[in-house]
Structure 1
């Protein structure tokens, strides 16, 4: 609020320094409180570097195809549906670390029963990566 002196007209042009002093006192208190914390080290358990293991190349994918005559082919070779689970387990045990990806392509005219047996064999063999691809 600006007051005028007796006989003078117009606003009084003085800066109000009270808020500035308040802010400076608050900053001074903050610096006084935090200064001892900065000078004292805080122990932190950091992770230690380890030897880097090169990534293992993923195994080649297994390509299964169910054709219109309900024959199942494993990477181009015709196999019996009953032997799929054992072949999948053997392929999973042959790789270390990464399981192979199972890519299944079916003909639109194939029976669902054959596809259900293929998926059951994959589930029983604990195949984790299953992809359905177009023939």
Structure 2
């Protein structure tokens, strides 16, 4: 006659597992699912073209290729500070390797004061 003790032990363990998990199977499982968001039409509006600023060693500033006195760049950039963040253009600042740091700092402060610092990209022509 075979020994039935291991079989009874295994069956008791299976019975305990089934009795313990059965109430959990009866409850609905609440999973937080991601919800879709609506961005609105302003998220898909075309971005304005970037402002191309170039500063050379002689402190000559060019705004999209047009010469601009260094002292007037702050006033020109302030016109963009009233725009919503999505409509503000990015600024690309191009310098030469021997550009005066003081002039470069003045331009960067003017860009930051106009609220355009987040889109600032600086290229150096060495």
**Bucket of the pairwise TM-score, normalised by the shorter protein:** 0.7 to 0.9
> Is 1:68 the equivalent of 2:57?
yes
RMSD: 3.4
Q: CA deviation at 1:76?
A: 0.3
Contact 1:59–1:95 (CA under 8 A) maintained in structure 2: no
Which of 1 and 2 has greater Rg? 1
Q: Which residue of the partner structure matches residue 79 of structure 2? A: 90
Call closer, same or farther: CA 1:16–1:36 in 2, change over 3 Å: same
Q: CA deviation at 1:32?
A: 3.3
Q: Unaligned stretches of 5+ in structure 1?
A: 6-11
Contact 1:67–1:110 (CA under 8 A) maintained in structure 2: yes
How many residues are treated as equivalent by the alignment?
122
**Residue 91 (structure 2) aligned to one of 82, 98, 102:** 102
Higher helix share: 2
Deviations 1:38-58 (A, max 9, x none): 4xx97x898577585361222
> Is 1:23 the equivalent of 2:19?
no
Give 4+ residue runs of structure 1 displaced > 3 Å after superposition.
12-15, 44-54, 91-96
